Amino acid sequence: MMACNKTYEEIRPGDEATLTRVCTGNDLFIFAHASGNLNPLHLPHTDTDGVDGPLAMDNAIDIEAARTKGVSSLVAGRAEVLVAPNMESGNMLAKELSFVAHAECAGLVLGGQVPVILTSRADSDQSRLDSCAVAVLYQHWRNTGRPAKSARAMEVA
């Protein structure tokens, strides 16, 4: 049975439910400030609201592939954040990056009442630590409205 328009209290064992939330330019703006990454390529612009896509994976991460295919945007070939349309796609993308490209990933799910640290049983210790660090940075931003200073920035100051 599919649960539609039910509250958390109304959902029972055996029910199924999905939550879909579209990532907006404002979400990326908030993430940029929470992480302290204020690179102009990552912030919303008036013409595109800071969101570009959908882009095929090669066009998102490889500038030559984007040029060959005639894709022109500020993000094409330079994407540092990849947004998936749902949890299943995001999980698949993270595993591909981890196991094929040997990338370290951090998992944090936003959009609910509270952020959720999301790691895989197969994640490395570094990936688990990175997920905790992202959660701490996000919470710091929620509490103060400012990105956390890096240890290096505090040493220089």
Domain ranges of the chain: 84-157
Name the residue with higher pLDDT: 46 or 135: 135
Question: What is the rounded CA–CA span in Å between residue 10 and residue 58?
Answer: 43
How many other C-beta atoms lie within 10 A of the C-beta of residue 24?
13
Q: What is the pLDDT of residue 68?
A: 94
How far, in Å, CA of 46 to CA of 34, rounded? Answer: 21
- What percentage of residues in the chain have a pLDDT greater than 90? 4
The model scores a pTM over 0.85: no
Which tops the pLDDT comparison, 31 or 120?
120
Mean pLDDT highest for which of 54-68, 99-113, 141-155?
Answer: 54-68
* Mean pLDDT (whole number) for 63-85: 84
Q: How far apart are CA 7 and CA 10, in angstroms?
A: 5
Using a 10 angstrom Cβ sphere, with 0-12 exposed, 13-18 middle and 19 or more buried, the burial of residue 80 is exposed
